[in-house]
Structure 1
C-alpha cells in the first residue's frame, strides 16, 4: 500500500460541448502523485491544466462536459463514485485552493464561520470545538491575532491574507491531496514567497501530497519534485523538475524555460533588452542585443515634484473625517523621451495611485506635474482631457478597459475621432494599420473583445493608446497577469515601439525580473514614498534600502537545485498607510550612493 500513489490519472480526456459539437480540451493525459510529493502541472492559458485539476475534483459542469479515462485516489476510482460520496471527498480527502480567493469566499459570511462550516460538515465537530479548531488553523497559517479575526469578513483581509484563509480552509479536514490552482499568480512577489514557504511547511507537517497548477517556471523550481508540461491539451513532457530544467527535451518546454525572466540576467549590460522569442515548434531564439541607453542630457518630458495624494477616511454618525490614507507622499522624479522608469513595490504602496494622479484620473492633494514644462495639476478639466493625448495609460486588465459591445476597430478609432485627430474613415483605416503595428491582422478590427486571448487584448489596448500619438505611456501592471511567452511578446512589443517612436514609459510593476529587463531607471515605493531610486544597474546591483533588499530576496529563482536550501522569508505585512487627521509626515533625508542613485535614510516609522 505504501508504494501506491495518492493520485493516479490515466489517459484522461475531457470534452466540452458547444454549439458546433463536442471539443476535446484534455487529450490522454497521464501522471501519478506519490505520498508527500509535489507535482507541478505547467502550461500557458488554454493548455488544459486547470481543466485537469477540476476533473480530478469532478467539478467540470455535468451537462456540457464529459470525462474519460481513469482517476484513482488511493487506488479507488473517483469517476465511479456517486455525487453524494464526491461531496465527502471534496474538502475531505482532496482540497483545492483557487487563484482568486475573493471569488471563493462568501462575502456575507465571516471567515471563521466559513471554515467552521467545513469542520462541522466533514469532521462532525460540535460548533464550539469547530471554532476552537478554526483559531488553531488560522494560527497555523500565520494570520496575526487569529482569535480576534474570527468574525472578520473577507473584504477586511489583504490578498495574501485571504489566500492564507483559503489554505486554512483547505487544511481543515486534513486532506491527503491539496490541489493549488495558480494560488500565487495575482500576489506580490513578497506575499508569493510567503505563501510558497507556507505550503511547503504545511506539506511537511501534514504529510500531504500537492498538485500545483501554474505557468510560472520560477514557482515550479521553488516547489515541485516533478513536473508535467501541457500544451493544447497534451502532456508533452514529464519528469523530475531538476532533470527537465537541466535538459528539456520538447521544443515547447525549451521555449517556456528560455522566456522566463531571470533576476541578474542583465548584469553587465547598460540598456533594456528584449526577451527571447518563444517559438512553440522550434524552441528558443538566441538572446537579442540590449537597446542603447537614453541620452541623459535631453530635457525631461515629465517632471513630478512633491506629488501627494490622500484620501479621507470617514466614520461616525455624521461621517466626519477620522483619518486619511496617505496613498502617495512627497513623490518626485522625472522622465525623459525614450526612457523607461519603473515604479516597483507591493500592493498598497501607492505606485498605481501615482500613475493615476499624474494623469489626473485621481486628483492629487498637492504637488506639481509638468508635461513639456506645462503644469497639469491646475488645468481645467476640458484642457486636461486634451493634454491626455500626450499621456496614455495601459491598464492591468485589458478586458475591463474595453467595451464588450464595441468592435475593437471602433474602440481603437474612437479616441482619434473624439480628439479630432482624424475623420471617421481615416480613423478606421489607421486602426487597421495600428493592429498590424502591434502584431495583429487588420481584419481583426471587426471582432469583439471576447474573441481574443488575454495577450491579444493587451496588444489592442496598446494600439488604442498609440492612436493619439502619445509621448508618455503609463503601463500599470500591464503584463503581470499574462503567461510567460505572451508576457515576453508584449514586453518586446513595448520596447520596439519605444525604440521606434521615442516613447517614455512609466512602468508600474511588482515583477522584479521583468523590471530589470525593461528599465533604464527604477524607483522603489513603500507606504506611498520612494525609498530608493537610481539607474537599473545600481538599484539591482547595489540595493541599499532594507525594503529593496527584501523585494529582491523574495523573487523566485528558476533553479530547482536551490529548492531544498533553507530560505528566510519575512512574514510581516506592509504597514497601514492610514494616519490621523493631524498627522504631519516627518522630513525625509536621501543619501547619494552613486550618480543618480538615492536612498531614503531609514526611520523607525
Structure 2
C-alpha cells in the first residue's frame, strides 16, 4: 500500500520527495528459511518534512531504516522493493556508490552513541573523518568546520573539547557529537533511530529542540524512528504506525492522535501517560489498556487506599550518606570522593508508593541499593521492618532481606540464562530454607499465575520470553520471600509503552492484594505521576523536594523539579512548533575534594508534608 501524505502538495503543485520508499520488504535467513519481518512498506518524505515511524520492539521500524541505508548483513538478509533518493534507486547501487550516499546524502544517528563512537579517538578527529572521506579539504579546514559543527549542536567550549575522548562527555553531549557528525556533509535526509530513548528527560528535551532548530537552519528532511508517542507528537508532521512488520496506519500526526482508526494505534495512544492528567487525585491510577485486535478498552477498577498511615513506617531512612573514595597517584592516596547520596531522609508506610526521581547520576539507584545494603552506606540509619540495617551481621542481613527485595531495570541481566524460570523463581525460597522443593514449586507456580503468566512456563528459559514477560518473572521471584518492601529500580524504563502500562498495573494490583510498599525509582515523570502516593526529587545526591504526589506535580517549588516537569514530552501535536529553550548545561559532578565540608541544608514546608530545600 502507498503511504504518502499531503505534505507532498505545497503551493498548488507537487513537490519531488527527498525519499520515496515503494513496497519495501525485508527478510532474514533463519534455519535456511527466509522470514519476512517488514512487508510492503511504502511512504514518501518531502523536503523539510519530519516523518515518524512509530511502533514497539519487533514492529520492524529499525529494520526499515537499516534497509534504507543498506546496513543489514548481506549474507543473512534480503531487501526487496525500491528506495528512491531523488532519481536513484539505492537498492540497485553498487556498494562503492552506496558508501558515498551514506553520510553524504543520508546520515543516520543511533540510540546509543557510545557504541557508535570509537573510544580510542578524540571526537574532533572522528567528525573530521566524516568530512575528509566525502570532501577534498585540508586538515586545518576540516578542524575549523568541526568546531563550527560542535558550536552548532550547542556543545559549550567547542574549541577546547575538540581533542577530548567520548568517555569525557555525558550521554546527552555524546548524542550531540553524533548529530554533529551526521550533519558534517549537510545531508538531504537525517534518519534518527531512537535518538533520545536512552537519555534522561531533560537531555531528551534538549536533543528534540536541537533537531527542530537544525532542521530549520539546514533545510533537511528527517525520518524519526521511535516508540514514544510523546516524542512523535512533538516532532512529526506525518506518522506511520507499524505493527509486526506491517504499516497499519499513516496520516497527519494530529489525525493519528485525535482520529486514529486502527486498534493498535488506539492501544499505543491509550498507554501513553499524560502529565497533569491526575489533577488533585490523591491515589494512584491504573493505566487504561486497549485490546490491539478490537480497539476496545478494558474496564479497570479504581485503586483502593491501602496506606497504613499512623503506624510505624515499614522503611525509615535518616541522614543516609553513601560516598565512594577516589584514589590516585603512585601510592593510591585518597584524593577525593563521589558524594553519591548525601544526608537523605524519608519514610515509607505499608501499602504506599514513594517515588525517587531525577536524572542519571543524581543518586536515586545508589539510595535503593544502600537501603538494602547491596552497597554499604557511609553513615546514617536505615530501619526496615524493625531491623537496624546498618548494624546487621551477614546472617542477620540475609534474614532482613526477606523483608525487602529489589526488581532491577534489566531482567535478562538478573536472571541466570542457564537456569529454568521455575528454578530461578524457586531459588530464594529454597536458599532461605522456608520449605520443601514441592512447596517451593507450588508457590512459584501460584506467583507466576499471579503476575499474569502460566505455571506450565516454569520449564522454559529466560531467552524464550519477551522483555515484559521477563520483568514479570523478576517480580514473581521478588515475591517468593513475602517481602513487605520492594525497591523497583527503573523496573519499567526499558519496556515498550503498552508493556510498561501492563507492568505498572500489575504492580498496583500486587500492592492492593499484598499490601506492599514500593520504593519506585524512575526518571519517567509521567509514569511516576500515575503510580505514586508521594514523590521525592533528587539532585546531586540530595533530596531537593518531597511531598504528596499532587502537591509536587501541581505546585513544584524547586527549580530542578520545575525543569524536570517542563521537559516531559506531551502527547499533543499542537505543541509541535514549541521549543522549550532549555539550558544545555551538563549535570554537575558529585566529585568533591577530601577537605570538602557539606553545607547544612534547610527545608521549608509549603503544605502538609510538602518540603522544599532552601537554596
Query: Do they fold alike, i.e. is TM over 0.5?
Result: yes
Task: Name the CA distance, whole Å, in 1 between partners of 2:146 and 2:333.
Answer: 36
Report the more deviating stretch, 144-153 or 171-180. 144-153
Are 1:100 and 2:100 matched, yes or no? no
Paired residues of 1:258 and 1:284 also in contact (CA < 8 A):
no
Are 1:539 and 2:565 matched, yes or no? no
Are 1:198 and 2:214 matched, yes or no? no
Q: How do residues 76-115 of structure 1 correspond to structure 2 at under 5 angstroms?
A: 76-115=88-127
One of 380, 383, 401 as aligned partner of 2:396:
383
Corresponding residue number in structure 2 for 1:251 = 263
Corresponding residue number in structure 2 for 1:516 = 529
Q: How do residues 374-523 of structure 1 correspond to structure 2 at under 5 angstroms?
A: 374-523=387-536
One of 512, 535, 560 as aligned partner of 2:573:
560
Corresponding residue number in structure 1 for 2:182 = 170
Report the more deviating stretch, 417-426 or 215-224. 417-426
What is the CA deviation profile of residues 396-440 of structure 1, one whole-angstrom value per residue up to 9, with x for unaligned ones?
111111111111111111111111123223223322222111111
One of 270, 284, 289 as aligned partner of 1:272:
284
Task: Name the CA distance, whole Å, in 2 between partners of 1:314 and 1:323.
Answer: 7
| Deviation of the 1:284 alpha carbon | 4.7
Task: Name the CA distance, whole Å, in 1 between partners of 2:425 and 2:554.
Answer: 40
Secondary structure of the structure 2 residue equivalent to 1:197: helix
Task: Name the CA distance, whole Å, in 2 between partners of 1:438 and 1:278.
Answer: 19
With over 3 angstroms needed to count, the CA separation of the structure-2 counterparts of 1:208 and 1:44, relative to structure 1, is: same
Give the structure-2-normalised TM-score: 0.96
Report the more deviating stretch, 122-131 or 375-384. 122-131
Report the more deviating stretch, 147-156 or 487-496. 147-156
| Deviation of the 1:584 alpha carbon | 1.1
Corresponding residue number in structure 1 for 2:3 = none
Report the more deviating stretch, 140-149 or 425-434. 425-434
Corresponding residue number in structure 1 for 2:7 = none
Corresponding residue number in structure 2 for 1:588 = 601
Q: How do residues 188-227 of structure 1 correspond to structure 2 at under 5 angstroms?
A: 188-227=200-239
Secondary structure of the structure 1 residue equivalent to 2:317: strand
What is the CA deviation profile of residues 323-344 of structure 1, one whole-angstrom value per residue up to 9, with x for unaligned ones?
1111000000000010000000
Paired residues of 2:82 and 2:91 also in contact (CA < 8 A):
yes
| Deviation of the 1:382 alpha carbon | 2.9
| Deviation of the 1:69 alpha carbon | 1.0
Secondary structure of the structure 2 residue equivalent to 1:377: helix
Q: Name segments (4+ residues, structure 1) moved above 6 Å.
A: none
| Deviation of the 1:270 alpha carbon | 1.6
What is the CA deviation profile of residues 469-522 of structure 1, one whole-angstrom value per residue up to 9, with x for unaligned ones?
111100011111111100000000000000000110000001000000000000
Task: Name the CA distance, whole Å, in 2 between partners of 1:545 and 1:287.
Answer: 37
Corresponding residue number in structure 1 for 2:198 = 186
Report the more deviating stretch, 376-385 or 270-279. 376-385
Secondary structure of the structure 1 residue equivalent to 2:321: strand
Are 1:337 and 2:366 matched, yes or no? no
CA RMSD of aligned residues (A): 1.3
| Deviation of the 1:90 alpha carbon | 1.1
Q: Which runs of 5+ in 1 are unaligned?
A: none
| Deviation of the 1:2 alpha carbon | 7.8
With over 3 angstroms needed to count, the CA separation of the structure-2 counterparts of 1:444 and 1:101, relative to structure 1, is: same
Task: Name the CA distance, whole Å, in 2 between partners of 1:345 and 1:295.
Answer: 27
One of 500, 517, 526 as aligned partner of 2:539:
526
| Deviation of the 1:37 alpha carbon | 0.5
Task: Name the CA distance, whole Å, in 2 between partners of 1:494 and 1:71.
Answer: 45
With over 3 angstroms needed to count, the CA separation of the structure-2 counterparts of 1:251 and 1:178, relative to structure 1, is: same
Count of residue correspondences: 602
One of 139, 150, 171 as aligned partner of 2:151:
139
Corresponding residue number in structure 2 for 1:41 = 53
Paired residues of 1:96 and 1:179 also in contact (CA < 8 A):
yes
What is the CA deviation profile of residues 574-604 of structure 1, one whole-angstrom value per residue up to 9, with x for unaligned ones?
11111111111111110011111100001xx
Q: How do residues 568-583 of structure 1 correspond to structure 2 at under 5 angstroms?
A: 568-583=581-596
Paired residues of 1:356 and 1:362 also in contact (CA < 8 A):
yes
Corresponding residue number in structure 1 for 2:10 = none
Corresponding residue number in structure 1 for 2:275 = 263
| Deviation of the 1:58 alpha carbon | 0.4
What is the CA deviation profile of residues 1-27 of structure 1, one whole-angstrom value per residue up to 9, with x for unaligned ones?
981101111111111111161111101
Task: Name the CA distance, whole Å, in 1 between partners of 2:497 and 2:141.
Answer: 45
| Deviation of the 1:44 alpha carbon | 0.6
Paired residues of 1:269 and 1:290 also in contact (CA < 8 A):
no
Give the structure-1-normalised TM-score: 0.98
Task: Name the CA distance, whole Å, in 1 between partners of 2:43 and 2:549.
Answer: 43
| Deviation of the 1:566 alpha carbon | 4.2
Secondary structure of the structure 1 residue equivalent to 2:320: strand
Secondary structure of the structure 2 residue equivalent to 1:523: strand
What is the CA deviation profile of residues 339-398 of structure 1, one whole-angstrom value per residue up to 9, with x for unaligned ones?
000000011100000001111111100000001232101211232122111111111111
With over 3 angstroms needed to count, the CA separation of the structure-2 counterparts of 1:566 and 1:131, relative to structure 1, is: closer
